[in-house]
Structure 1
């Protein structure tokens, strides 16, 4: 239930859809609490001084506030009414994302709290907000940027600097209400495609699960019902269903044909036949596998022509101004010849992944781990002389690792079902020079790798992107290489053909750990070619290496760098930096406002040759 007059009115959770809902986006009361003293000053009880447009963060233009200073705490307040028709159900108040420590009160009662700025959470407000009556929700978000917390590319200094950008504080994704049955309710399912056995496996959590309830799932395509399965609740911790896909109805999800099956879920009273709860989902039948140096999709090597996407917008910062803007970013990448993206230092909103599923756009999920280390200019995990994690603010060396594991697993659980997501990367450019000690860095990296594998054994996991591969336990190995000379760039990566672990010595690796022989490998950041003809003398502007002297020099460099990796038979793919300029980092294929910077025909043509890994037996016949 939403109207077009609301900002971001679309349903926020497309992988698990219920019919009834109420969007709470729009104008809220708002107040900045710079000293974080608002609780003592009565901000929880009284009206707030100003206004803000939710779901846009107060630093953004679209919020109507546009305050980019440090905002240590912010408060929100809004009145709403739970629809009378929901009186026989429990009501959940959802926050798709709020940065960083969020506390929620409804009618003076605390109903929930959550740590982490990238993942959703929900509060049960049934007892605090009776249906048909006015209710007041008050939210406080604490976000001290000088403390140690995973915040991605948000700047730790007052202004933007280097590859750190304007901060995001408080609510930055949709806030909404949802009624669920009182007796028992479906929760987000885990849908695993099993291509080898021609089926989907559904693990369906049920809150209030009890004997006498039956779970029913129906799989459909555009034509009709494909298969149906049922199982009783109470006979296992999670009811599990197998939905077979007969060969005649089998259609695989791929970049060329991103076909999605509909999945209908029902919780049924076995005695009466009454439907207790129902929800809609969808699924793509596809497999991701490793075969030597190749990563295969549905048994065929597909060279991953990825682009780095940081998900920033000039007017919304981390929040897309519209659902159409999410689609447009994917379309822009496809138009430039990329077939996917590394979603960088941000857990993208769920609707982005939904559109990636629909459009056949491959993505890697990554966490916003930068920021751990407090006010230091951090790049991931910083180490003290004794090997422990640098402390920031009042966070001790153990608190940050515990927090990042919890937040990362929330992201993995949220996004597991998306067929477009083909790999996980919890850490980026961790900084550690290994010696005779085993440090927190090693424990964190291995712990996150093992936790991700336990949560999802269907996709490859990259231990850390870029460098400090200190644990030597990873499904895929990578490096970041911003050499701007195509000849030396090619020569260095051709060392792989001689089984030489060159990545042990280049400046982006900073680790003597050898490349594990036979492990798939790619350059997950390269290029970043600096070009902005709009820049005026004195404007903040940077990119990697020397700026090309002419536009033709850009094309020559871009073509040479891409060719060096496309022609390497031990390269599974690459990731070019980046899709758009982001503030002062002006090395995008497009400007920050998404306008064209280059001849897209030439950018696309440079990537469309058949990659060497695709020519091997079982490889794909073409790129996209």
Structure 2
């Protein structure tokens, strides 16, 4: 048992859709393992006996949980109590989970509420009919996990020990749990789509409850405290669409664009009124930016952008996949920028929304990548598709996200090079993504054999710059599958061909210091001088290839047995940050 608790997550978990009426349920819960899966038959939801304490939202595998047991336990139980504040009595009570891995079942006051499958997407339950307002309420949660390769698991191992680049599993609640209080009629969601070419932003409103002529939705947009626009409408149905011209005289440029150098954000408040009574108020923001592709280049706001990215797996020493604090997330973002990178590829992880919020605020670009399955089956297709759809919708409004990456290195589609079913699956995810979000590029099978994809991404851990230069000298030979990268991989699956897409080296480097244990790519280095020489050689080789539009270095930090980070797990730099920046500039 590890009893020293040093981390708390008390921040509002969803800063892009923020209300004032909420209660954070993180903190100390009762917790029990149920390896024999007897908890439901023995009615543990009525009384969780022989329980230990756990600190939510940190999983039992982590030091921050107060338990730290890295063995796999497929069934775990949680229990805590809560009260309904006097000023919230009579409102709808929503129980919200930002993420819980994998199958989550919920009871309130011994009443079964429901379940949710998926390890990365947020989900909610309406528990209004189960709560009492004159006593404490009992909340019990069971989470079922497995070693199945049909469920999206990202970098979580599915065997007893870590291996390769797969790490200790994450089981149970791993992001914030919270209550939110709503009137029967409320604002459920607003999708915001900027258009810099028309100086406008589109709002797609989803409203909950019965609509009538007494209702009014009011939207107010500010920039740095000054009102830009305000408009209102009477909703005649639960879904409404409006486009708003943002041109204003409050600043010289009329419309302020979001860029990495100037991450301008417009604040927006949505109010739902019944006559003059405020039923619901939500605070949000958006960034005016455009991502497009033209002439083999990625454009940001209609200008080519060279992407200098870091692979970021989002692991921390004491908390693993759960960010320990806002300060820890900010530190990673600021050190990334200090090293001269302009973005991160969030690898095999859907990151905490507060991380994305800080990327929005600080101007760090993000590729958002889905956690992979590792075998192909009908069940894997269903599991993946349902959760991916939720994720696109939940993270759509973040201006920092400029690319979606549903597949990586043929994980979950191991025979994509020749198998038409697996190829069709990737195409279906591409078009599904585009049906929700036509604005962002979608990368299908980052690194290996692409099917239909807006960007062609190649992984290559070549150690020597001159070999990099030689290998990629002939673009036609690369895109026509005549020259292999990553030893024996080719850019396209059978039946697909190059159509002029941008080309990015989206994994390279992985240089590890020789520290006696762990691994990196290629030979390890022993000194800073050796590291910088190799880093500069391969990075410059990539930058000098004219048709390549960017790169992503592996990686920002060490992760467990993988020691190829520019920072150690505790975020101590291995190399002076300014020396990395000098090479990236």
With the length of structure 2 as denominator, give the TM-score of the two structures: 0.94
1:461 is aligned to 2:430: no
Between the aligned partners of 1:36 and 1:148, the Cα distance in structure 2 is 21
Counterpart residue number, 2:40? 39
Deviation, 1:550, is: 3.5
Deviation, 1:206, is: 0.4
| Mapped contact 1:466–1:508 kept (Cα < 8 A) | no
Deviation, 1:512, is: 5.2
| Mapped contact 2:477–2:483 kept (Cα < 8 A) | no
| Mapped contact 2:323–2:352 kept (Cα < 8 A) | no
Counterpart residue number, 1:268? 273
Between the aligned partners of 1:501 and 1:363, the Cα distance in structure 2 is 29
1:250 is aligned to 2:255: yes
Between the aligned partners of 1:486 and 1:504, the Cα distance in structure 2 is 17
SS, match of residue 584 in structure 2 = coil
Query: 1:307-326 to 2 correspondence within 5 Å?
Result: 307-326=310-329
Counterpart residue number, 1:427? 407
| Mapped contact 1:27–1:53 kept (Cα < 8 A) | yes
After superposition, what is the alpha-carbon deviation per residue over 1:382-415, rounded to whole angstroms, capped at 9, x for unaligned? xxxxxxx3xxxxxxx2111011001011111111
Counterpart residue number, 1:11? 12
| Mapped contact 1:219–1:243 kept (Cα < 8 A) | no
SS, match of residue 536 in structure 2 = helix
1:557 is aligned to 2:534: yes
Deviation, 1:6, is: 8.2
Counterpart residue number, 2:463? 484
Counterpart residue number, 2:127? 125
Between the aligned partners of 2:217 and 2:154, the Cα distance in structure 1 is 40
Which of 363, 378, 381 is matched with 1:401 structurally? 381
Deviation, 1:500, is: 4.8
Between the aligned partners of 1:208 and 1:244, the Cα distance in structure 2 is 29
1:340 is aligned to 2:321: no
| Mapped contact 1:305–1:339 kept (Cα < 8 A) | yes
Deviates more, 1:564-573 or 1:254-263: 564-573
After superposition, what is the alpha-carbon deviation per residue over 1:555-613, rounded to whole angstroms, capped at 9, x for unaligned? 111111111222222112111000001111111111111001012222111110xxxxx
| Mapped contact 2:7–2:325 kept (Cα < 8 A) | no
Deviation, 1:87, is: 1.4
Between the aligned partners of 1:340 and 1:462, the Cα distance in structure 2 is 16
Query: 1:560-579 to 2 correspondence within 5 Å?
Result: 560-579=537-556
Structure 1: 5+ residue stretches without partners: 374-388, 390-396, 609-624
Query: 1:337-376 to 2 correspondence within 5 Å?
Result: 337-370=340-373, 372-373=374-375
Deviation, 1:525, is: 0.6
Query: 1:228-307 to 2 correspondence within 5 Å?
Result: 228-235=230-237, 238-246=239-247, 248=249, 249-269=254-274, 272-307=275-310
1:442 is aligned to 2:444: no
Change (3 A) 1:188 1:435: closer
With the length of structure 1 as denominator, give the TM-score of the two structures: 0.88
Deviation, 1:130, is: 2.6
| Mapped contact 2:309–2:345 kept (Cα < 8 A) | yes
Change (3 A) 1:508 1:174: farther
Between the aligned partners of 2:497 and 2:537, the Cα distance in structure 1 is 25
After superposition, what is the alpha-carbon deviation per residue over 1:519-551, rounded to whole angstroms, capped at 9, x for unaligned? 11101111101214xx23xx3x10001113532
| Mapped contact 2:472–2:478 kept (Cα < 8 A) | no
Deviation, 1:199, is: 1.1
Which of 543, 566, 579 is matched with 1:602 structurally? 579
Deviation, 1:42, is: 2.5
Counterpart residue number, 2:480? 501
Between the aligned partners of 2:148 and 2:241, the Cα distance in structure 1 is 45
Counterpart residue number, 1:135? 137
Aligned length: 570
Between the aligned partners of 2:541 and 2:400, the Cα distance in structure 1 is 26
| Mapped contact 1:6–1:25 kept (Cα < 8 A) | no
SS, match of residue 13 in structure 2 = coil
SS, match of residue 168 in structure 1 = coil
Counterpart residue number, 1:161? 163
SS, match of residue 260 in structure 2 = coil
Between the aligned partners of 1:300 and 1:559, the Cα distance in structure 2 is 27
Change (3 A) 1:599 1:76: same
Change (3 A) 1:562 1:124: same
Counterpart residue number, 1:518? 500
Deviation, 1:348, is: 0.2
Change (3 A) 1:157 1:435: closer
Deviation, 1:147, is: 5.3
Counterpart residue number, 1:87? 89
SS, match of residue 35 in structure 1 = coil
Counterpart residue number, 1:581? 558
Change (3 A) 1:72 1:286: same
Counterpart residue number, 1:68? 70
Counterpart residue number, 1:192? 193
Deviation, 1:275, is: 2.0
Deviation, 1:86, is: 1.0
Counterpart residue number, 1:616? none
Which of 58, 61, 71 is matched with 1:59 structurally? 61
Counterpart residue number, 1:378? none
Between the aligned partners of 1:331 and 1:497, the Cα distance in structure 2 is 38
Between the aligned partners of 1:573 and 1:398, the Cα distance in structure 2 is 35
Between the aligned partners of 1:594 and 1:5, the Cα distance in structure 2 is 17
Between the aligned partners of 2:564 and 2:17, the Cα distance in structure 1 is 37
Structure 2: 5+ residue stretches without partners: none
Change (3 A) 1:145 1:107: same
SS, match of residue 446 in structure 1 = helix
| Mapped contact 1:232–1:239 kept (Cα < 8 A) | no
Counterpart residue number, 2:212? 211
Between the aligned partners of 1:153 and 1:508, the Cα distance in structure 2 is 23
SS, match of residue 142 in structure 2 = strand
After superposition, what is the alpha-carbon deviation per residue over 1:6-35, rounded to whole angstroms, capped at 9, x for unaligned? 820000000000111101111001001112
Change (3 A) 1:508 1:333: farther
| Mapped contact 1:18–1:278 kept (Cα < 8 A) | yes
